[in-house]
């Protein structure tokens, strides 16, 4: 008994020592940092799933408002939380090479789904990015628009059905995500997902979409565990994403390949590109080292698993981010009817000269666009963008950031900092009017990220969000459901910014005025 108790004491002492052994990291470098707690560092509220990551980093930065870089500890690991726009420019753009990793980079090859563009780093990331970028060119977007337009017709039917059956409030994120899922299915994979059809609860795409973004304590725990102890996590054969997800997309891809008889079609969509990659077995591109000078080319082996990883990323990023942003926009406009009326007037004026929503909706509705920009300020999809130092780097201050150090870019804090955005909690789309936009300090607002790793799907996102919102406002205005709170709390376990309550709105059919 005594022996067991002694063992426990020794184990606890060893854990305590291990979890605090690096806690002098920032003091030795003369960097200010908040006092960390054993085991959890300064991210306890996030790791214990009590607060969202954006709120936690915001609280860290607020303790040291004048420090360009605040030291902190993510569990036992040091992390640099960077809040100075000039430093952010260096990290994300000018000296990007040194920060081209995202987080726990060395482990991204250990799971099929983390072998994708979002998680990889170094040469693999560079070659992939180079090869996938052409898919998102403006010309490609324009060519894809008819597919999105087609999805807006199903959205109209879905909104009609929802407004009639859920008079007390519609779960708007779920409705819009069915639209964006259909858009990405059509544009990226050339398939009709059918998720906007009636009784689509059993639709496999919808089910897999729910699985990818499942909000649960276990999922939150696994994400935190992986980010702190990646070696142990993978040694225990755990994975961040359930195995059904890659299996599902493997079968989808094989079916689409078969339909296209393993030859590229004239659609030149994502599947065509994937087919071309599959045939060549390798992709070629520049080494990431060329960013420092040089002209090295290299090849990366392509196998089915690797292709599946990219597919899942595009599917997941393609629907969830845009539906979340669209529904936050609707939530804010429901709270401010006069702003909503400005959007409706703009939509009516746009539709008065054309019968259907067209690709020009991305440029012809500036106020709606401002609303989306303001939504992304208040609710950045990724509340913290991460980077990892891949080679020692010395800042202009003389502080050296060592290889392997985590860097957190606190988007929520930057976007809600009164120094850059007066009355930061107020939803005011006029901040992004052409006159005001030019006064925004560079590198204080970048909801799609910045530099070579900026969101590759930004244009696609904008296109489907604008098309979806125009379709909705063509026939409805929105009001908060009676049980929908105006002040919300954020989910602490969701992968992207989300409210704990969801967003419930009433779709009120618009009374059309005769011209």
Q: How far is the CB of 384 from ligand HEM (least distance, A)?
A: 10
**What is the DSSP track for 67-131?**
-SEEEEEETTEEEEEE--HHHHHIIIIITGGGG-B-SSGGGGGGSGGGSSTTT--HHHHHHHHHH
Residue 369 binds ligand HEM, judged by CB under 6 A: no
* Separation in Å, CA 454 to CA 118, 221, 363, 447, 450: 10, 28, 21, 9, 5
Extract the tokens encoding 382: 């990724």
What is the C-alpha to C-alpha distance for residues 387 and 406, in angstroms, rounded to an integer? 6
Angle between helices 270-280 and 244-259 (to 10 degrees): 90
Q: How far is the CB of 66 from ligand HEM (least distance, A)?
A: 25
Q: How big is the chain by its Cα radius of gyration, in Å? A: 24
Q: How far is the CB of 38 from ligand HEM (least distance, A)?
A: 31
Residue 314 binds ligand HEM, judged by CB under 6 A: yes
Residue 362 binds ligand HEM, judged by CB under 6 A: no
Among the listed ranges 163-171, 192-200, 425-433, 447-455, the one in contact with ligand HEM (CB under 6 A) is: 447-455
Which residue lies nearer to ligand HEM by CB, 19 or 105? Answer: 105
Which residue lies nearer to ligand HEM by CB, 466 or 484? Answer: 466
Residue 385 binds ligand HEM, judged by CB under 6 A: yes
Which residue lies nearer to ligand HEM by CB, 19 or 464? Answer: 464
Nearest to 195 by CA among 155, 166, 237: 155
Residue 145 binds ligand HEM, judged by CB under 6 A: no
Is 455 known as a binding-site position? yes
Residues in the chain: 515
Q: Which of 113, 381, 466, 478 binds ligand HEM (CB under 6 A)?
A: 381
Residue 384 binds ligand HEM, judged by CB under 6 A: no
Residue 461 binds ligand HEM, judged by CB under 6 A: yes
What is the C-alpha to C-alpha distance for residues 343 and 370, in angstroms, rounded to an integer? 10
Characterise 281 by phi-psi region: left (phi > 0), alpha (psi -120 to 50), beta (else): left
Which residue lies nearer to ligand HEM by CB, 154 or 450? Answer: 450
> Quick count: other Cβ atoms within 10 Å of Cβ 189?
23
Residue 453 binds ligand HEM, judged by CB under 6 A: yes
Which residue lies nearer to ligand HEM by CB, 317 or 484? Answer: 317
Which residue lies nearer to ligand HEM by CB, 249 or 314? Answer: 314
Helix (H, G, I), strand (E, B) or coil at 509: strand
Extract the tokens encoding 252: 């989808």
Residue 368 binds ligand HEM, judged by CB under 6 A: no
Residue 449 binds ligand HEM, judged by CB under 6 A: yes
Residue 460 binds ligand HEM, judged by CB under 6 A: yes
Helices (H), 166-268: 172-184, 204-212, 217-228, 230-235, 244-259
Instruction: Report 194-223 residues binding ligand HEM (CB under 6 A).
Output: none
Strand partners, 299: 284
Residue 447 binds ligand HEM, judged by CB under 6 A: yes
Residue 321 binds ligand HEM, judged by CB under 6 A: yes
Write the interaction track for ligand HEM spanning residues 271-310; mark x where CB under 6 A is met and - where it is not.
Answer: ----------------------------------------
Contacts of residues 285-288 at CB distance under 8 Å and 24 or more positions apart, as own/partner, are: 285/126, 285/127, 285/128, 285/130, 285/131, 286/126, 286/127, 286/130, 287/123, 287/126, 288/97, 288/100, 288/122, 288/123, 288/125, 288/126
Q: How far is the CB of 126 from ligand HEM (least distance, A)?
A: 9
What is the C-alpha to C-alpha distance for residues 462 and 381, in angstroms, rounded to an integer? 14
Q: Which of 105, 162, 177, 325 binds ligand HEM (CB under 6 A)?
A: 325
Task: Report whether 472 contacts 173 (CB < 8 A).
Answer: no
Which residue lies nearer to ligand HEM by CB, 23 or 96? Answer: 96
371 membership: H or E segment, kind and range: helix 366-378
Q: Which of 90, 256, 273, 313 binds ligand HEM (CB under 6 A)?
A: 313
Among the listed ranges 17-25, 431-439, 457-465, 507-515, the one in contact with ligand HEM (CB under 6 A) is: 457-465
Among the listed ranges 73-81, 235-243, 251-259, 380-388, the one in contact with ligand HEM (CB under 6 A) is: 380-388
Residue 382 binds ligand HEM, judged by CB under 6 A: yes
Write the interaction track for ligand HEM spanning residues 96-135; mark x where CB under 6 A is met and - where it is not.
Answer: ---------------------xx----------x------
**Residue carrying the six token digits 């060329």:** 290
Name the DSSP class of 504: E
What is the C-alpha to C-alpha distance for residues 472 and 340, in angstroms, rounded to an integer? 12
Which residue lies nearer to ligand HEM by CB, 405 or 481? Answer: 405
Q: How far is the CB of 165 from ligand HEM (least distance, A)?
A: 28
Strand partners, 406: 79, 388
The separation between CA 118 and the C-alpha centre of its own chain, rounded to angstroms, equals 10
Q: Which of 318, 410, 429, 468 binds ligand HEM (CB under 6 A)?
A: 318
Pick out the residues of the known binding site.
455
- Interacting residues toward ligand HEM by CB under 6 A: 117-118, 129, 313-314, 317-318, 321-322, 325, 376, 381-382, 385, 447-450, 453-457, 460-461
Pick out the residues of the known binding site for heme.
455
């Amino acid at each position: 008994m005594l022996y067991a108790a002694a063992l426990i004491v020794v184990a606890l002492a060893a854990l305590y020592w291990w979890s605090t052994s690096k806690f002098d990291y920032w003091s030795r470098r003369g960097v200010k940092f908040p006092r960390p707690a054993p085991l959890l560092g300064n991210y306890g509220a996030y790791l214990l799933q009590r607060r969202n990551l954006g709120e936690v980093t915001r609280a860290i930065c607020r303790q040291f408002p004048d420090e360009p870089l605040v030291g902190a500890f993510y569990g036992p690991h040091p992390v640099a939380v960077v809040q100075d726009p000039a430093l952010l420019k260096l990290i994300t753009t000018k000296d990007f090479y040194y920060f081209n990793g995202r987080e726990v980079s060395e482990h991204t090859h250990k799971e099929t789904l983390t072998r994708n563009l979002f998680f990889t780093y170094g040469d693999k990331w560079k070659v992939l990015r180079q090869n996938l970028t052409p898919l998102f060119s403006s010309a490609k977007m324009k060519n894809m628009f008819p597919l999105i337009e087609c999805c807006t017709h199903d959205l109209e039917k879905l909104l009609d059905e929802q407004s009639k059956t859920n008079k007390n409030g519609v779960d708007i994120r779920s409705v819009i995500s069915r639209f964006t899922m259909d858009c990405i299915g059509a544009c990226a994979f050339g398939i009709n997902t059918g998720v906007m059809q009636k009784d689509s609860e059993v639709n496999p795409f919808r089910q897999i979409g729910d699985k990818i973004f499942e909000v649960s304590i276990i999922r939150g725990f696994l994400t935190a565990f992986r980010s702190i102890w990646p070696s142990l996590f993978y040694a225990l054969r755990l994975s961040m994403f359930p195995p059904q997800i890659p299996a599902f997309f493997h079968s989808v891809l094989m079916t689409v390949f078969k339909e296209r008889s393993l030859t590229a079609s004239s659609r030149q969509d994502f599947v065509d590109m994937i087919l071309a990659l599959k045939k060549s077995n390798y992709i070629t591109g520049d080494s990431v080292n060329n960013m420092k000078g040089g002209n090295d080319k290299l090849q990366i082996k392509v196998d089915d698993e690797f292709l599946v990883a990219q597919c899942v990323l595009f599917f997941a990023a393609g629907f969830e981010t845009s539906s979340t942003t669209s529904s936050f926009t609707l939530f804010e406009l429901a709270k401010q009817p006069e702003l909503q009326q400005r959007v409706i007037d703009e939509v009516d004026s746009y539709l008065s000269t054309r019968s259907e929503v067209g690709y020009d909706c991305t440029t012809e509705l500036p106020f709606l666009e401002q609303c989306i920009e303001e939504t992304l300020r208040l609710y950045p999809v990724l509340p913290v963008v991460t980077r990892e130092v891949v080679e020692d780097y010395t800042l202009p201050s003389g502080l050296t950031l060592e290889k392997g150090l985590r860097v957190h870019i606190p988007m929520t804090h930057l976007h809600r900092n009164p120094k850059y955005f007066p009355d930061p909690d107020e939803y005011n789309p006029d901040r992004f009017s052409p006159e005001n936009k030019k006064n925004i300090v560079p590198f204080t607002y970048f909801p799609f990220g910045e530099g070579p790793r900026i969101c590759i799907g930004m244009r696609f996102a904008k296109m489907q969000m604008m098309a979806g919102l125009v379709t909705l406002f063509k026939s409805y205005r929105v009001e908060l459901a009676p049980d929908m709170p105006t002040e919300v709390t954020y989910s602490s376990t969701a992968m992207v910014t989300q409210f704990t309550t969801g967003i419930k709105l009433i779709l009120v059919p618009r009374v059309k005025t005769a011209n």
